[in-house]
Chains A and B, each alone.
Chain A
Amino acid sequence: MKVVALIKQTPDTAELPKVSVDEARSGQIQTTMVINPWDEFAAEEAIQLADRLGATSVAISMGRPDQTDALKHALAMGIQSAVLVDEAVAAEGDEWTAAEALAQAIRLQGDDVQIVLAGKMSVDGNSGLIHVGVACKLGWSLLVNVTRIAEVADGRITVERSFEGGQEVVQVPLPVVISVAKEINEPRYPSFMGIRKANRAQIPVLGKDEIPISPAPPRARWENLRKPEQRTVQVKIIQGATPQEKAAGLVDALLAEKVI
């Protein structure tokens, strides 16, 4: 059996505010690029599942052919192999096109792929749609916000999912696409041995020949791209001789702002 983790390379969240509109538009982002933090949970779960099930783990990412840092991070954590999908195969496309490209890349890994794991969203794109699209394109079961994988047996998988105010246990037939919640595990740091392995690894790049996508016009496209206005925040420190006076001042201020 194979377990696939979908990995995206995104700007370091600490540096996200530095990304300019022009950079975002052209895709030539100058900031430090790292593994999308949500995808670290998917990579960790893939490693653990592969161990548990005696399966092999594969990381798949779509991006520019030179953008292998995120995949190398996954390899350094312990994912066994990695594949990059050249984003040119889905040029001018939308999430639906990206999902098609990834679904094809997953199929190319062979019939023994039974589980595909993904983070719940990417910190740059923020759509949270890719894994949904991939499940659709593959025609597989879909589970979102999974907090624990309880059992994989007899062609079925049992998981725990969390939702507002509750937990549920669900079972679906394999193969399955799963988006994981951050409660599912604690992603490990890469090991030094892993770092060395990752740097020696050959990462195959799948291009238009391997992943042909008929150029259907994208359903969604960017009409406009801008940064939100800087919000001006005023800080008011409530003065008072005693805690009671300060509290009364705070209540007055909150009432005046119609917060309470």
Chain B
Amino acid sequence: MTSPLAFLFNEEHEMVRRLARDFAAKEIAPKIKELDRQQRFDPELLPKMAAQGFLGICIPARYGGAGMDYISLGIVSEELEYVDTSARVVMSVHVGLNSLGVFQWGTEEQKQRFLVPQAQGERIACFCLTEPNAGSDVQAMRATARREGDVYVLNGEKVWISLADVADHFLVFAKTDPQADPPYRGISAFMVTRDMAGVTTGSYHGKLGVRAGNTGWVKLDNVEVPVENRIGQEGEGFKIAMSCLDNGRYTVAAGALGLIRACLDASIRYAQERETFGVPIARHQLVKRMISLMVQRRDIGQLLVYKVGWMKNMGLPHSREVALAKWFCTDASFDSASDAIQIHGAYGYSDEYDVERYLRNSKGAVIYEGTREIQQLMQAEYELGLRKRPRLRCELPAYDPAEWTGET
């Protein structure tokens, strides 16, 4: 029988989904409650994801990747976050925000030096844009990169950096021209490595959610970064950051879709077991309403996310579409998690059930990689003709199975 989703997914995608689902169920689900309680990042997670090829899933085989397409990246993100957000964050940051950025903007030599070990999972990568005084307002960043001969000297502080304490490679954005007008033209991108003198990192505790994930700060104190580590040209940093976000947001949206499904499955299970007034609560109309809203969010989210996956495969620019998918799915996952707790009543309010973790985890994604408000402004501005997506000097390459797999 043909699947009703055959227009989105082929058989290969279905197998990728099953693989990611099994992986998450066996490697993450059994420990996640405890790790979340202890606010501990599982040191075994990255090696296991690497061994499975997740860390280079949609990178061509010639750069050490698994040569799968962008839809597969979405599927793995979705299935990982079905179990826990912390594992999906790895896909967003290591693959989406960093590796795909190098793949898109890096020189061949940089791809060999950075992308190959990242795709193979030998080096872990993160993305350093946010600063204490620059979140949504990226241009307000204060980090500087001063050219001195063959090196740039980087100074600054990056905060709220996912994988800060476990990463080896840091894609850092800093101003090479602090006087530039408009200021975004003064931003450049650099690959900083942990072995460089002057790099220090630390982790945060006490986050609302993603407690099994690592988030922290990165300090750069007169770090000498070779010119060969500059990604793109001087002044191209803002565009690079935005195209990295096109990739990261896709994985965030796909992950949020997984979270919606997790909320729905938990709610259906519980609503059929729990009885009030002599019937399972699933029979009450207002409970049905909460379930139907989750179904609606899941089905809409799926179309938005995988439309973007398809656009990526085709090499079409998709900044607006991915921002919309990210906005819709993250908001929808927060609402679904809140309803899932409501359906569970008081039991949902304790960590005996998973739904409270879903709610705590869902909130972050409404903030990071562009807050809900920033996504909303973008949608209106595109529609009003106030914003245009420029053609980029380097666009994300379209998916080409023969070239990416090296198989015929």
B223 at the interface (CB under 8 A from A): no
Identify whether the interface residues of B are mostly helix, strand, loop, or mixed: helix
Across-interface contacts of A239 in B (CB, < 8 A): none
**Other-chain contact of A190, B15, B72, B405 (Cβ < 8 Å):** B15
List of A residues within 8 angstroms of B18 by Cβ: 34, 73
Q: How far is the CB of A154 from the nearest CB of chain B, in Å?
A: 36
Q: Give the contacts of A184-199 with B (CB-CB under 8 A).
A: 189-193, 195-196, 198-199
Using A189-B22, A189-B23 as known contacts, say yes or no to A195 and B52 having CB atoms under 8 A apart: no
Q: How many angstroms from the CA of A34 to the CA of B18 in the assembled complex? A: 9
Taking CB atoms, residues of chain A closer than 8 Å to B405 are 193, 196
Q: Which of B11, B16, B22 contacts A192 (CB 8 A)?
A: B16
> Which chain B residue has the least Cβ–Cβ distance from A198?
B15
Contacting pair A72 B66 (CB below 8 A): no
CB of A129 to closest CB in B, whole Å: 28
B57 at the interface (CB under 8 A from A): yes
Q: Please, which residues of chain A bring their CB within 8 A of the CB of B19?
A: 76, 189-190, 195
A72 touches B22 (CB 8 A): no
**A192–B23 contact, CB under 8 A?**
no
User: B208 to chain A: closest CB distance in Å?
Assistant: 31
Is A189 a contact partner of B15 (Cβ separation < 8 A)? no
**Smallest CB separation, B68 vs chain A (Å):** 5
Min CB–CB distance B349 → chain A (angstroms): 19
Within 8 A of A (CB), among B60-99: 66-68, 72
Q: A199 to B407, Cβ gap below 8 A?
A: no
* CB-nearest residue of chain A to B26: A189
A192 touches B57 (CB 8 A): yes
Q: Are A189 and B52 in contact (CB under 8 A)?
A: yes
| Structural contact, B53 and A191, CB atoms closer than 8 A | yes
Give 1 or 0 for each of A62-94: 1 = CB within 8 Å of chain B CB: 000000000011001000000000000000000
Minimum CB distance partner of B67 in chain A? A192
Decide yes or no whether B150 CB sits under 8 A from chain A.
Answer: no
Q: Does B181 count as interface, using CB distance less than 8 angstroms? A: no
Distance to closest chain B CB from A231 (angstroms): 14
Q: Return the chain B residue nearest A200 by Cβ.
A: B407
| Contact, CB under 8 Å: B12 / A196 | yes
Q: Which residues of A contact B11 (CB under 8 A)?
A: 72, 199
For residue B399, give the distance in angstroms from its CB to the closest CB of chain A: 13
Contact between B22 and A195, CB atoms less than 8 A apart: no
How many residues in A have their beta carbons less than 8 Å from beta carbons of B? 13
Contact flag A196-B52 (CB < 8 Å), given A72-B15, A189-B22: no
Chain A residue contacts of B68, Cβ below 8 A: 192
A-B residue pair count with CB separations less than 8 angstroms: 39
Could you say which residues of chain A place their CB within 8 Å of the CB of B72?
A: 192
Residues of B within 8 Å of A193, CB to CB, are 66-67, 405, 407
Cβ-defined contact, A195 with B15, below 8 A: yes
Against A, the Cβ 8 Å flags (1 = close, 0 = not) of B98-130 are 000000000000000000000000000000000
B67 CB contacts on chain A under 8 angstroms: 192-193, 196
Distance of B15 from chain A, by nearest CB (Å) = 5
Task: Closest A residue to B52 by CB, please name it.
Answer: A189
Contact pattern, B 1-31, Cβ under 8 Å of A = 1, otherwise 0 = 0000000001110011011001100000000
Contact bitstring A172-215, B, C-beta under 8 A = 1, else 0:
00000000000000000111110110110000000000000000
Name the one of B10, B15, B53 contacting A76, with C-beta atoms under 8 angstroms. Answer: B15
Closest approach, in angstroms, between the C-beta of B215 and any C-beta of chain A? 28
Give chain A residues whose Cβ lies under 8 Å from the Cβ of B12.
195-196, 199
Please, what's the 1-or-0 string for B349-379, where 1 marks a CB less than 8 Å from any CB in chain A?
0000000000000000000000000000000
Q: Mark A14-43, 1 if CB is under 8 A from B, else 0.
A: 000000000000000000001000000000
Q: Which residue of A lies closest to B53 (CB)?
A: A192
In angstroms, how far is the closest chain A Cβ from the Cβ of B222?
42
Question: Closest approach, in angstroms, between the C-beta of B316 and any C-beta of chain A?
Answer: 24
Residue of B nearest to A190 (CB): B19
Residues of B within 8 A of A192 (CB): 16, 53, 57, 66-68, 72
CA distance A196 to B11 in the complex (A): 10
In the assembled complex, the CB of A35 is this many whole angstroms from the nearest CB of chain B, namely 10
**A196 and B407 form a contact (CB under 8 A):** yes
Q: How far is the CA of A195 from the CA of B53 in the complex (A)?
A: 12
Contact with B along A122-165 (1 / 0, CB 8 A): 00000000000000000000000000000000000000000000
A13 vs chain B, min Cβ distance (A): 12
Nearest B-chain residue to A30, judged by Cβ: B1
Minimal Cβ-Cβ distance residue in B for A32: B18
CA distance A193 to B401 in the complex (A): 12
Q: Which residues of chain A are near B407, meaning CB under 8 Å? A: 193, 196
Provide the B31-67 mask, 1 if CB < 8 A to any CB of A, else 0: 0000000000000000000001100010000000011
Residue of A nearest to B61 (CB): A193
Docked complex Cα distance between A34 and B10 (Å)? 17
Contacts of A198 in B (CB 8 A): 15
Report Cα–Cα, A189/B52, bound state, in Å.
8
Question: What's the Cα separation between A76 and B18 when bound, in Å?
Answer: 12
In the bound complex, do residue B53 and residue A73 qualify as a contact, i.e. CB atoms below 8 Å apart?
no
Give Cα distance in the complex from A182 to B11, angstroms. Answer: 29
Which of B15, B19, B53, B407: most chain A CB closer than 10 A? B15
User: Closest chain A residue to B405 by CB distance?
Assistant: A196
Query: Closest 9 interchain pairs by CB?
Result: A192-B66, A195-B15, A192-B53, A199-B12, A192-B68, A190-B19, A199-B11, A189-B19, A195-B12
Interface residues in chain A, defined as those with a beta carbon under 8 Å from any beta carbon in chain B = 34, 72-73, 76, 189-193, 195-196, 198-199
Seen from chain B, the residues whose Cβ lies within 8 Å of a Cβ on chain A are 10-12, 15-16, 18-19, 22-23, 52-53, 57, 66-68, 72, 405, 407
Could you list some 6 contacts between A and B, CB below 8 A?
A34-B18, A76-B15, A190-B19, A193-B67, A199-B10, A199-B15
Sample of 12 further A-B pairs with CB below 8 A, known A191-B53, A195-B16, A199-B11: A72-B15, A73-B15, A73-B18, A189-B19, A190-B15, A190-B19, A192-B16, A192-B67, A193-B67, A193-B407, A196-B405, A199-B10
